[in-house]
Amino acid sequence: MVLQKRLEYGFNGYQVPPTPRAPRSARKRVKKNEDHNQMCAFDLLATIAGKLLLEGNNSADNKLNQEETVKETTVKTEEDSSKANACDQESCNKSFFVSEIIPKAPVTDTCSGPASGITVSDCLDKVPSASRSLNGENVGCKIEDIIDKQMTNEAPNNGKPPVVNNLDSNVNLVVRDDDENSSWCTQRQTLNNKTFRPPSRIGDRRIRRLSASKQWKVAPKLNNGVHFNTDAELKPVYHNKKTCYKHQRSLRDYPFKKRRLYQLENPSDSDNRSGSPRKGSIEVESSLGAAQDPAFQAQDSHVKLKIKSFRVPEFFIEIPETATVSSLKRTVMEAVTAIFSGELHVGVMLQGKRVRDDNKTLLQTGICHDNKLDALGFTLEPNRLQVPQSLCPEDRAVVPPPATPKPLTRYSPPQSVANQVVIQQEMTNSRKITESDDDISVDNTSACDSRALVTVPAINNPETLVLSKSKQAEVAQRRIRRPFSVSEVEALVEAVEKLGTGRWRDVKLRAFDDAKHRTYVDLKDKWKTLVHTARISPQQRRGEPVPQELLDRVLEAHAYWSNNQLKTQTCRLL
């Protein structure tokens, strides 16, 4: 009799009809909302400090814009792309670049004028589309070096002082794209090529190692081991898909080493082109006055910036005291790899505030030559969907200062383009981390910052990314472990009591609809372990103890639903 009643009304006297599934379209909508919420929550996770310099425009820029490849790198592109937000997002996700604002030399029309000896066009012409370097810093230096030479030899401008026809406000943009190593530009006001050095062998080794480790990590997941860039994956990545894609592809087909050599032999390559859109952190180098010439102002002004270096978001590593330094280095490398393996978004900060409207023009937003140094900052944000909710303050209005990176905990698996790009970027960063002694940095400021990138307290904070050597491999793959709290268990038990053990989707909807990180599979798994836990002796249990009362209910419900599964199903059908 009792049994009969239960059959009809369910465990505990409840009768819960199956949750009707929403139409596909509706479900999609829901999902979308979820994503949105998450985006809110995860908004400013990692922050990368940056400063940037803004300047007026340059007639040469207009020229540049006709170069498709170049166009990619200009901030102007960002404006364009903002119209296509989705695309923008995507591209942000998958690529990095380091660029820098370079004050244009007060030379006559440097970019466009032959007088300077080197023009952007020149640069571009010399540069095969598939140029790439392994280290942005070096590239930058190199560029400057070259330019410097050119200036010295040819640009004497007939003895004339570099008078400017133009606005000293002109700044030439150098975008160092680490993934593609593209950057374009011209020259600097101060043409001192500081510390250019050819890449060291160490660098090479590191590259190899990195690549290897990358493969090692990826291989288990992918049937063919290395499967970085497939055409399909590449396509959606950039604003200007066609162009970028081509570009990217050509790079891809270029062996690493070869590319590097190519770089060395063709210094001009390092200037220019960037297939990948913006990303990264920024640091300012110097500033120039704003544009003075109204005529130029009237035209399509460009904002030029130089992103000098990236700052890796805060993270933690855990490593035995007995580990070797080399091991430590490797560990750090792995961690950095993990970070950059995830998809990243770029945030823009202006005057300490986050710029949220992607559709505004730079001018409207205030990102223009009127800005002062430090006014603009970029942030790197890890893929929001991958970040544990617990890490994300609900208040997304809170904008952490650009220089205060927040902890990252979760990184999505490396993918296609990102993969390659990432490696490049990692090179730059790792270099700073492990070899900050080497004077390879063009700017001292960033060198300083980057040195403080790694903190090593072995905190066992679940909200902190803790990388121990043994788990490095998993970091990029596995979701972070999040033990169920007692209250969660209670909710789960309650839901299962009413819904049974075969309707995990309903359980999810009913009791964990808000917990985005708990999938119905998770709930099912948890129930499984709960049943197991309930059956073993308390001494054998681990983790946060679950109240015996709950465990009892687990067993009871489990027994009930497993006993009556068949009958219940029959019941439901009838």
Kindly identify the residues of this chain, within the stretch 269-298, that bind DNA according to CB under 7 A.
none
323-327, long-range: CB < 8 A, 24+ apart: 323/469, 327/469
Q: How far is the CB of 18 from DNA (least distance, A)?
A: 8
Minimum distance from CB of 384 to DNA (Å)? 16
How many residues are given for the chain?
574
Q: Could you tell me the smallest distance in angstroms from the CB atom of residue 444 to DNA?
A: 41
* Shortest distance, position 564 Cβ to DNA, whole Å: 13
Q: Which of 351, 529, 548, 570 binds DNA (CB under 7 A)?
A: 529
CA 277 to mean position of chain CA atoms:
12
Comparing CB distances to DNA, the nearer of 432 and 524 is 524
- 527: phi then psi, degrees, rounded to nearest 5: -60, -40
Query: How many residues bind to DNA according to rule CB under 7 A?
Result: 24
Quick check: 521 binds DNA (CB under 7 A)?
yes
Query: In the complex with DNA, which residue's Cβ is closer, 79 or 522?
Result: 522
State whether the Cα torsion 554-558-564-565 is positive or negative. positive
Distance in Å, CB of 196 to DNA, minimum:
44
Contacts with DNA, 448-477, as mask; x by CB under 7 A: -----------------------------x
Shortest gap between Cβ of 429 and DNA (angstroms)? 26
Of 235 and 516, CB closest to DNA = 516
Q: How far apart are CA 339 and CA 70, in angstroms?
A: 28
Contact pick of 524, 527, 530, 550 for DNA (by CB under 7 A): 524
Q: How far apart are CA 346 and CA 381, in angstroms?
A: 6
Rounded least distance, CB 349 to DNA, Å: 31
Q: Which is nearer to DNA, 209 or 482 (CB)?
A: 482
Provide DSSP, 142-162: HHHHHHHHHHHHTTTGGG---
Instruction: Kindly tell me which of 236 and 502 has the beta carbon lying closer to DNA.
Output: 502
Site string for DNA, 189-228 (x = CB under 7 A): --------------------------------x-------
Instruction: State the minimum distance, in angstroms, from the CB of residue 319 to DNA.
Output: 23
Query: Which lies closer to DNA via its Cβ, residue 192 or residue 224?
Result: 224
Residue closer to DNA, measured from CB, 99 or 415: 415
Q: Mind giving me the DSSP string for 442-487?
A: S-HHHHHHHHT-EE------TTS-EEEGGGHHHHTTSPPP-PPPHH
Q: Please, which residue, 517 or 541, has the CB nearer to DNA?
A: 517
Mask 475-514, x = binds DNA (CB under 7 A)?
Answer: --xxxxxx------------------xxxxxx--------
Nearest distance, CB of residue 40 and DNA, angstroms: 21
**Nearer CB in complex with DNA: 446/501:** 501
CA–CA gap between residue 179 and residue 188 (Å, rounded): 23
From 517, 541, 555, 556, residue interacting with DNA (rule: CB under 7 A): 517
Count Cβ neighbours within 10 Å for each residue of 486-508 and write b for 16 or more, e otherwise: eebbbbbbbbbbbbbbebbbbbb
Segment interacting with DNA (CB under 7 A) among 152-160, 322-330, 399-407, 516-524: 516-524
Q: Which of 407, 132, 414, 387 is nearest to 251 (CA)?
A: 132
Reported as type and span, the H/E element at residue 315 is strand 315-318
* Two structure tokens written together for 243: 């162009």
Residue 523 and residue 514: Cα distance in Å, rounded? 13
Tell me whether residue 40 or residue 473 sits nearer to DNA (CB atom).
473
Report the nearest approach of DNA to the CB of residue 390 (Å).
11
Binding flags for DNA, 9-48, as an x/- string (CB under 7 A): ------------x-----x---x-----------------
Side by side, which strands form the sheet with 466-468? 454-455, 315-318, 466-468
Cα diameter, the chain? 108
Nearer to DNA, 151 or 476 (CB): 476
Q: Which two tokens stand for residue 201?
A: 């062998």
Judged by beta carbon, residue 28 or residue 205, the one nearer DNA is 28
| Nearest-angstrom CA–CA distance, 469 and 43 | 29
The minimum distance between CB 238 and DNA, in angstroms, equals 26
Please enumerate in sequence order all residues whose Cβ is within 8 A of that of 292, keeping only pairs 6 or more positions apart, or say none.
Answer: 56, 167, 168, 169
Least gap, CB of 233 to DNA (angstroms): 18
CB 526 within 8 A of CB 461: no
Q: How many Å apart are CA 354 and CA 337, to the nearest integer?
A: 27
**How far is the C-alpha of 39 from the C-alpha of 428, rounded, in Å?**
28
Of the candidate spans 255-263, 335-343, 485-493, 518-526, the one that interacts with DNA by CB under 7 A turns out to be 518-526
Cβ 21 to DNA, closest distance in Å? 6
Contact 322, 46 (CB under 8 A): no
Give me the numbers of helices (H) and strands (E) for the chain, helices first please. 23, 8
Specify the residue, 468 or 529, whose C-beta has the smaller distance to DNA: 529
Q: Which residues bind DNA (CB under 7 A)?
A: 21, 27, 31, 221, 477-482, 501-506, 517, 520-522, 524-525, 528-529
